[in-house]
Each structure stands twice: as C-alpha cells, then as structure tokens.
C-alpha cells in the first residue's frame, strides 16, 4: 500500500461501484490487519491536517546549521535564506500531490506548459508591442489558436529577472494578477521567454504615449483591482516591491491586472536582505524611482507599507496625469524626503475622500500609512453604496464556492 501511495495512488477515488478505500479495507476478513490498515491511513490524514490546519504556520522550519564561510551564506547575498534552507518538497500520502515550501506556500501540484519557440507565431494584427521597464519588451503572440503576449529580454540584458518572475508567477492565482500561460526555453534553457494572457497595453503607455486622461472614477476602479491583488500578495507574506504604472497591465478585455513580479521578495526576509534585494540595487532602483517609498530609498527597508506608498503614488499619477517626482534623481529625491520633508502635492480640487487616501498613503513615515486592507476598503467606499453592495454580493457568491 505504501508503495502504491508513494507512486501517486489516490485514496479519494472510487471504483465503478462507488466503493472507496474504506469499503475495500472492510473486505479484509482479518480484523487485526484491517484495523492496522485503517489506523495507518488515519495517521496519514492527520499528517495532512497538521500541515494545513490552523497551526500550520507554527510548524518549525528545518534550517541546517552553517558557518560564515558556507556556500549557503554566500548564496544568501543573492537569494533569500528561505529559498536556500527550506527546499520545496512534494508529499504524496494518498490525497493528491501536495506542494510545500516554507511556512506560507502550500498547495496542490500543477504545471506550467513548456512551449517550443517554433509553436509561437507573431500575428500581423493585432500587433501590440511596448517596452517593459528597461530590460524587456511585450509583444503580441499566437500560440496555436490562442492570442497571447510574449515577454522577453532585450538584447544584451541578463535573464535572471525573468527566471525569478516565472518562479513566483507559477504559484500565484488571482483575478487581478496577470496569468502566466507558459514558459519558452531559449538557448537550451539558459534563458526564457514568458507567455502571458493577451495584454493590450500598460498604464504607463496609455498615460504617456497615448496621452489618455482618466477620470477619478476610472482611477479608483483601476486601483481597486490592483489593491485587491496586492492585498492577496500580502496575505501570502509577499512584497511586490515595484508597483508602478509599468506594472499595471490592461488585458484585451479591458481589465486592469498586476504584473512585474521579478523584484518580489518574501516579507519575513526583507529586513535581512536590505540592499541585496534586486530592486534596491542602483541599476534597478531607477526603474521605479518615481513610485518608491521614502524608507526604501533611504534605509533600504522594504515592507507592506512600502507597497501601500507605491499604490498611492500610482493613484496620484492617475489623478494628475503625470509622473510623480518627475525629473528627480535618487539623490535629489532623498533630499525632498528627508531634508525638506516634502511629499507629493495634492491638488485642491481632488475630492475629500481621495485627498484623505492620498495624504495618508503618501506619508513619509511608514507607520502612519494605512495597511493594505484599509486602503482597499477606503477605495471601495469612494465608489459609493451601489458598488459596495455589488462587491458584498460578489463576496457572498464567492464564499459559496469555498
């Protein structure tokens, strides 16, 4: 029995007569043997209950001892300690293949397609292409009959960030997070391209290339969806770290979704990582300089409050139609924050509810900002009672499926 379970046997399934494992065990006429088998199976169930129960987060992590000269210590400068010392594992005890990684990532094992480059065709129409920060481009692609978007490195740039992005994206599922459909290996897997759902453009492109102006109502709707995605990440103890108008993408159906996950870190290691986090290295920080939180710029500290600041900076950008802190360098911006104590100027004609959200969310002190849940609730409140009722009804319908 153990051999069958280790090879993927599933105790949840039934035969053509609707008999499960309990019925089969009862066919055993040896009472002692029958009792032993049932007892063993119950222990396996309790193992899963312990793993996924209310106290699951309190389970100790196995951390091997290491000296200051160990390979782990050297690698920890590049990767989080959790990535190195708590290797992911797959548990098969008869109730599906369970993926476990650290304290916060547990789930059923799934796959992301590996796609050959020859399977991808570039359509003549629509032919969308735009720059994605300083290192990548996004362009239209056709995979079989499915219209999608291909994200790839620019020539001469390193591929580390795309690899890090798909490792996170493969584990994230949310209606307001861009969907990763497949991975395309390049140069014998030395590099990759990522195939996403059909993306029409980014917020950055619509604001500064297409010169689109957003109403306050549209701005709140966009930030409502994006804040919901960020709250989902924070509940998983993940920090996005690079929220900007580049990271907000619009699908072909017009929905706004969060992308740009290559700089994400686990929140419980953010303090230890400090300037070893990719986004806080000087060659990367300029890509999100206009939206970055003051404490990240000065003290190289990342937190959930840093993401809240960036969300409010994008909201400010939507309302004003221009880059926050445009023309500033990292040096002059530090002076604005810590010598002049300046924050982004809020226009007088901004509605009082939005003015409160911006004032609190753009505070120089991280401790004075609202948490992600409070920010989302405030954005929902701005939308009015009709939208709040619709959201409440949506929550009720969603809970019926849980």
- CB–CB of 209/301 below 8 Å? no
**How large a percentage of the chain has pLDDT more than 70?**
73
Q: Around 49, how many Cα atoms within 13 Å sit in the side-chain half-sphere?
A: 6
- Longest distance between any two alpha carbons in the chain, whole Å: 84
| Separation of alpha carbons 379 and 354, rounded Å | 8
Q: Give CB contacts under 8 A, 24+ apart, made by 179-183.
A: 180/112, 181/112, 181/113, 181/143, 181/146, 181/148, 182/112, 182/113, 182/114, 182/115, 182/143, 183/112, 183/113, 183/114, 183/115
pLDDT for residue 81 is more than 50: no
pLDDT tier, 78 (very low <50, low <70, confident <90, very high otherwise): very low
Q: Which residues make beta-bridge pairs with 266? A: 238
Model pLDDT, residue 278: 67
Alpha helices in 141-212 (DSSP H): 160-169, 203-208
**How large a percentage of the chain has pLDDT more than 90?**
41
Model pLDDT, residue 160: 80
DSSP letter (8 states) at residue 261: -
Q: Which residue has the higher pLDDT, 377 or 136?
A: 377
Using CB atoms within 10 Å of the CB of residue 112, give its burial: 0 to 12 exposed, 13 to 18 middle, 19+ buried.
Answer: middle
- CB–CB of 249/256 below 8 Å? yes
Q: Given 3-state DSSP classes, what are the helix, strand and coil percentages for the chain, each rounded to the nearest 5?
A: 45, 15, 40
pLDDT for residue 270 is more than 90: no
| Separation of alpha carbons 192 and 153, rounded Å | 8
Over range 127-142, report the average pLDDT.
Answer: 84
What tens digit of pLDDT does each residue of 178-226 get?
A: 999 999 988 777 788 999 999 999 999 999 999 999 999 999 999 999 9
Q: What is the pTM of this model?
A: 0.75
Site of tokens 């009792």:
35
- CB–CB of 151/194 below 8 Å? yes
Over range 37-66, report the average pLDDT.
Answer: 59
Do the bridges between strand 180-186 and strand 120-121 make them parallel or antiparallel, or are there none, so unpaired? unpaired
């Amino acid at each position: 029995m153990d051999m069958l379970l280790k090879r993927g046997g599933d105790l949840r399934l039934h035969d053509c007569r609707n008999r499960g494992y309990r019925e089969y065990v009862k066919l055993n006429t040896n009472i002692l043997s029958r009792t032993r088998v049932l007892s063993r199976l119950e222990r396996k169930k309790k193992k899963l209950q312990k793993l996924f129960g209310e106290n699951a987060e309190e389970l100790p992590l196995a951390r091997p001892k290491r000296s200051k000269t160990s390979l782990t210590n050297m690698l920890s400068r590049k990767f989080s300690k959790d990535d190195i010392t708590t290797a992911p594992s797959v548990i098969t005890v008869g109730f599906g293949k369970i993926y476990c990684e650290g304290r916060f990532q547990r789930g059923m094992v799934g796959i992301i397609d590996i796609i050959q480059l020859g399977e991808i065709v570039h359509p003549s129409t629509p032919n969308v292409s735009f720059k994605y920060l300083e290192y990548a481009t996004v362009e239209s692609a056709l995979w079989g009959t499915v219209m999608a978007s291909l994200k790839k490195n620019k020539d001469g740039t390193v591929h580390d960030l795309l690899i890090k992005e798909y490792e996170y994206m493969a584990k994230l599922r949310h209606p307001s997070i861009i969907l990763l459909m497949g991975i395309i290996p390049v140069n014998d897997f030395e590099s990759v391209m990522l195939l996403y759902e059909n993306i029409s453009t980014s917020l950055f492109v619509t604001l500064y290339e297409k010169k689109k102006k957003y109403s306050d109502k549209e701005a709140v709707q966009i930030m409502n969806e994006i804040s919901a995605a960020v709250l989902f990440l924070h509940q998983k103890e993940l920090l996005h770290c690079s929220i900007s108008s580049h990271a907000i993408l619009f699908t072909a159906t017009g929905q706004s979704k969060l992308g740009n996950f290559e700089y994400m870190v686990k929140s419980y290691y953010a303090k230890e990582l400090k300037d070893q986090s990719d986004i806080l290295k000087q060659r990367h920080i300029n890509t999100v300089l206009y939206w970055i939180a003051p404490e990240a710029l000065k003290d190289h500290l990342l937190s959930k409050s840093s993401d809240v600041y960036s969300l409010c900076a994008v909201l400010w950008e939507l309302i004003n139609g221009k880059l926050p802190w445009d023309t500033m360098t990292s040096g002059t911006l530090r002076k604005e924050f810590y010598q002049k104590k300046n924050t982004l100027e809020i226009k007088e004609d901004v509605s009082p509810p939005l003015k409160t959200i911006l004032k609190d969310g753009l505070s120089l002190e991280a401790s004075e900002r609202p948490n992600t849940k409070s920010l989302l609730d405030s954005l929902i409140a701005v939308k009015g009672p009709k939208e709040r009722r619709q959201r409440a009804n949506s929550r009720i319908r969603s809970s019926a499926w849980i």
